Amino acid sequence: MDIVVIGGGAAGMAAASKAKRINKDANVTVIESGSFVSYAECGIPYFLQGIVGRAEDLLHYPLEEFTEKRGIRVIIGRVVKKIDTASLSLILDNGSAIKFDRLIIATGARPRIPDGIASGVFGLRSLESAIRLRDVIDGSRTVTIIGAGVLGVELASTLTEAGKKVKVISKYDRVMPQLDPDIGKILNEYFSSRVEVEFSSTPVEIRKEDDAFAVKTTVDDHVSDVVIAAVGIVPNSNIAVDAGIKVDQRGAILTDDHMETSIPGIYAAGDVATVKNRITGEDEMMPLAQIANKAGRVAGSNAAGSEMKFPGALGSTLVKVFDMEVGFTGLNEKRASALGIPYGKTMIRAKSRANYYPGKEDIFVKILYDSRDRKIIGGQVMGKDGAAWRLNTLATAIFAGFTVEDLFYDDLGYTPPFGPVWDPLIIAGSVSMRE
């Protein structure tokens, strides 16, 4: 059996490795358009900051791990131009053809670049682009970031800590609009006290002038050494569309719980593909590393003949903003309202450790729950000391179908250095029970 994977990122290499493990006799080939496979894309902001010294430090495994130890053929620097479903073959940019019995599309996504932007503005999605950007960043003083979502806020934080003067352009009235306005306001005040943010603004024109960029927005004009676009991504699904594979309105490849596409024998995983939202049951694009790895493994297993099912995801997201841990999982108020879900909500502020123990910090926890069955459907956290593990506990609770009562009675471990007797999550559950 010939199993071919297009894309050597998290999903692609997870798929290839699982397929080879399941079927040791299969010929497994990965075709990657770039120069690297299996690297930590989430570590790129810290590479740009300088905490991660070398680009090679972001590689999960050297190429030889796959080619020599796992027996996977890896072709780098080649682009797949066409999927020929009639002949079950791929046409590469050098004109050569590769046959397949099963195909896995893991081509990822590319940065969305706003209209009216000059060449030289950076989009950040690959290790190659990070290496080029770091060379520029190292010799620059001022940086403009277009977009105030997770990536924009994370980059602004790391680059400010690296000594750069950063300005963020946000089309919203706050940063990280994925958060609800109440908890989002707290983050907004914290972030904008450290980074200059131009709110309710969009770029009109960005043009290169000598060694800098003239940035004109709907609010103001300024000059910046470097401009980074962080306004979202576009799935690299063109070859799938050309092959007649169904995609959603964003262009993400639609998949079932086996990660199989609308064409039998062709699978997709990672940022280019949808997964099921565990709460709503809807197909969604959730471009996150853990989801990509797991969906890739499911795709690889099924392609190799051993059934696995992807049970859905919540889109759980964590980000470090200076010394603040910020995260969200499941639905926010805007999404719940759009879906017509009657919901209750609770937001509390509590201490991260026992009140008498040194190092305690405020932690903000917000939960949303379905008013009909009181199951938790969303969570948001923010704090400097242990907020991240509270977010992960909330994600586990939602995944398991916890009610607010279940959250209250959850038997969390306790010791003063790690949390108070009444942990912030227990308090959130208790307050919700009063509603």
Indicate the SS3 state at residue 426.
Answer: helix
Q: List the strands of the sheet with 196-198, edge to edge.
A: 122-123, 226-229, 142-146, 165-169, 196-198
CA–CA separation, 34 vs 37, rounded Å? Answer: 8
Which residues in 252-261 are b (16+ Cβ under 10 Å) and which e?
bbbbeebbbb
Neighbour-count burial of 18, counting CB atoms closer than 10 A to its CB (0-12 exposed, 13-18 middle, 19+ buried): buried
Q: Are 48 and 136 in contact (CB under 8 A)?
A: no
Which residues in 166-201 are b (16+ Cβ under 10 Å) and which e?
bbbbbbeebbbbbbbeebbebbbebbbeebebbbeb
User: Is residue 271 annotated as part of the catalytic site, yes or no?
Assistant: no
CA–CA separation, 432 vs 405, rounded Å? Answer: 8
CA–CA separation, 78 vs 320, rounded Å? Answer: 35
DSSP string, 156-216: HHHHHHTT-EEEEE-SSSSS-TTS-HHHHHHHHHHHHTTSEEE-S--EEEEEEETTEEEEE
Indicate the SS3 state at residue 302.
Answer: helix
Based on its alpha-carbon atoms, the radius of gyration of the chain, rounded to whole angstroms, reads: 23
- Taking the chain, what is the end-to-end CA distance rounded to the nearest angstrom? 58
CA–CA separation, 96 vs 311, rounded Å? Answer: 37
Q: List the strands of the sheet with 221-224, edge to edge.
A: 203-209, 212-217, 221-224
Question: Of 42, 92, 113, 204, which is the active-site residue?
Answer: 42
CA–CA separation, 115 vs 206, rounded Å? Answer: 9
Give me the active site residues, please: 42
